[in-house]
Structure 1
Amino acid sequence: GRTFPEALQKALRSLETGRFGLNADKGEVALANLGDDELTARVSTPSSERIFALGEALRRGSTVEELAAVTGIDPWFIDQMAEIYEVRAQIEATEVPEVGILAEAKRYGFSDHQLGYLWNREPAEIAALRRGAGITVTYKRVDTCAAEFEASTPYFYSTFEEESEGERSDKPRVIVLGSGPNRIGQGIEFDYCCVHASFALREAGFETVMVNCNPETVSTDYDTSDRLYFEPLTIEDVLEICEVEKPEAVIVQLGGQTPLNLARALEARGVPIAGTSPDSIDIAEDRERFSDLCRELGIQQPPHGIASSALDAAEIVDQIGLPVLVRPSYVLGGRAMRVVYSYDDLSIYLRELYGTEDVSGLDLSEAPLLIDRFLEAAVEVDVDAVYDGHELLVGGIMEHVEEAGVHSGDSACVTPPPTLSDEARKRILTATEDLSDALDVRGLINIQFAVKGDEVFLLEANPRGSRTVPFISKATGVPLAKIAARVMMGASVEELRVEGMVPPPTERSYVSVKEAVLPWDRFPEEDTVLGPEMRATGEAMGIGRDVGTAYAKALLGAGHRIPQSGTVFLSLADRDKPLGLAVAQAFTMLGFRLLATSGTQRYLQHHGVPAEL
């Protein structure tokens, strides 16, 4: 931004935590209900939410000096935040939007959403009012030379001034929407896809425009694309860029869930979306529509149901049987997903998820609960592929080391898959092609399967870039993100094969393993048992002549020390004892000493495995 208040408000809405700036949105209601003592406690305690509490304290009349003394924050910064609240007071003093106040508010970084909240109007109405009044966004170059020399980097930010900087060429333009802030479930893997897409499209003669807000990424390097907009990934900010750039297409498929959430709104406003249509993406994310499609195609799924109330959830569990996998609709990274083994577990899950002791009256119709039969002792398999409407190019099939039920981002995976039968592999490839064709995919698709013997169950499909694209591209030498970007813009797989971008198939003489990097050393109080909610903050890759060698390298790369001897503690639930027996026998053969809880010790000794209590 041009000023600190403008930049601060943009930074806060870039975090994707449901906030649109320094309060002035629905998120401030909880703070407004706090007593003064509780608010003071929150202001004085460093946390990710303290800045919003500080804003509420300013709204209630706390002085800059008082807040500086309580927080230790330099008074200059608090004074700048106080200016935001002075402008807010002007906004709230008028019942209807006034042009002068509207222009001032935009210069202070207020989003249309915040102004709509304060004036009790829809954001689209605020946008129409300001455009009608000639209050429009301008774009300025980032001055990388501190005014000492003329800066010519194609690196822009928005503000509300008189004129924009920068020139446009006559080349066809493509906007690539990045992945926003790094977080568990959506990290640098998606940035890899965006960067390689930009490289491929530039080579093909397009002018590439990157939109992202994360300074730690390669996509926000000034020379990754022809032009870079360092802006929040919200519908307001992206639409303004589209208005200026007038792109041939916008790529939403490669940045994870963040740009996908904008796809429908962009399409509704006439912005051309590259590749797979938003409706096809919605079919894959809408459990009911997706299940209907799988039934039409004859693709097997685990028994499942969709609950719109707690009573529905219990009835579905009755029908499909325990254990079940439960999760809310539209989540990435397995957030709030859990394996439930009993009705008591289900009740506890619902109380924790919705923050209420009485779940009997819950209305879940707006965001239904998805319930699947949990397939015990199944192997999970990932497929990454590109489809152009005629030909399916499979990047690779990855077999998970951990059983089905552990989030794919936390599980180690192996390619080529070491234990899949030829029949299972054939069924997986057939289902992948049938589904890609039915969804009319243009570009990347990731599909997850669970395999028990030769039986193959489709778990979910994502017609977008996945977090395994960088791994499979490096493991196979097939540049999936580059190929997908070209396919999204109209090229066929065969044309790219002729160009040399698609390498000829080769028999690999090596195995590749991806291992997750887990943050237990930073969060020692966290439960280290893996499940359907993603915990990993990174990954490492190992390559070797066999699975064992590649896996050992991946473990070392992920920071694990591989013990050669020592003691192993085992505590197994009754349902896990049969599977745990083989693991215990293997540890004994390797010379490890076993310690176990009483029930586990009795079970192991009964089966001839020595274990101490």
Structure 2
Amino acid sequence: MPRRPERRSVLVIGSGPIALRDTAAACRVLKAAGLRVTMVDSDLTTMTTDPEFADSTYLEPIDPGTVEQVIARERPDALLPTVGGQAALDTTIALYESGVLTRYGIELIGTGIDAILAGENPEEFARIVGRAGAEMVPEASVPGWPKFEFELVQDHEDKVAVACSTGESGSLTDRGYRRMCDLAVAVTRAAGVGPGGCTVRFAADPSGGRVVVTGFDARAPGSSALAVQLAVGHTLDDLGFVTAARRPSATGDVLEIDVDALYDGHELYLGGIMERFEAPGDPACVLPPITLGRADLARIRESTRVLAESTGLRGPLNVRYALTPGALSVLEANPREDRTVPFVSRATGVPLAKAAARVLLGARIADLRAEGLLPPTGDGGMLPPDAAVAVKQGEVMAIDSDFGTAYAKALAAASGPLPTKGRVFAAFAARDNRAMIFPVKALADNGFEILAAEGTGAILQYLGVPVTIAREHSIVDLVMAGEIVLVVDTLPGTPRDEIRAAAATRGIPYLTSIQGLTAAVQGIEAVNRGHSSVVSLQEHIDTLWPIRS
């Protein structure tokens, strides 16, 4: 939906000492949309008090009386309060309650007034959380629970998406993450955010998996430029985001991809494109990606460039994509360095964090190429075809000439070696029956004994794969007795949680996807071949960028 035709100018209440880069990016988005920008902010340390960021800049106190004077003088059509600090929100509430916004016909953008009021009233917010089907608990009441923050954005078509999230990711399962996503979307809708963004805070019980909402903010500091893009008329579909209405299904057809990039306002540098896959413990990723073709890489590059350009970004960007047959969708976009940056830097031989700092200070990517900090040509999305494979598992990294060997080395360093013999328990959902045949047969060919749930076992028997049908109630006992060395289970339900808990207790690898099983099989076959090699990081880097050495 396009922005309102009558909206010609916007008053921005400044940020004070917070979210400086994102506030500046939000101003760039407004000016790029053809709007006259008026800024009110008295803090000289903020980037946005530089005259280049607004058509009129008022170095005045942020209070209702002063801002009303600016409104009377400038007559803006809209007010953006959500890239500022607490004073901006307090002033906006006062202007709304006194009737100033109505009297001057000013539209509030970036979030709705109901959302701002909810963020300032814990009792009202608790009622909103209840209507969304969630539980509200003060953060102080759960001091030992892992904490999480989800920034969400909403467009004029009432579609909602998770823009980015932070928290103790190692303590959260995929199921828990999806549960938080669903609750965050429901709270955003119930709070009346409207076109713009907000932040929903959570805590998770480390013992029982209970998830509670602990707080709300009508601002989305890390996604403010994106929220402004939506406020002025763009849609989430325009930007390729996965919305609550069209989240990819959890099947083997979905491939998740991480991208670390730099953008200087004109040129994009792709630090690395990583293919994510399930592994025992933390998810793993591989660089270069092993199943993406040239067309996929080109789409990812262009989508990342468009996303960086449209949000007014200057600096680092981490994007998480979902690739399905026929569609590339944005799961999250974080305007910051992610925990994958050290991995990307070592895998590609480029000091990405140092380059990001230079870009934030005003350097261009072309300047960094000329200095030798970045490669003179190409980037991490264009590694040589014979490049060694780097795998990240948790906080561990390994390099070798092929994926299977690199993965086996990384897993051995992170949580222990893959099993090379013993019993495997396999239980697959109907959607996985076709895809599971070859990796399960490969396990049998490598000498593993296959125990299977009834449905899975019947299919394997029909295809001539040696298999024993297992009684479901006995699997937990077998796992606890150490008689099963690997569990592959893609079925949902409570019994699966019991098997997972038993595997975790015994330190037995537990996989829940065909993709994870396929990776494990390649690792097992690599261990059995015994062709592992060692190479120094310096040698690896020299083979990637010989011109830089």
TM-score (norm 1): 0.39
**More relative contact order in 1 or in 2 (CA 8 Å, sep 6+)?**
2
TM-score (norm 2): 0.44
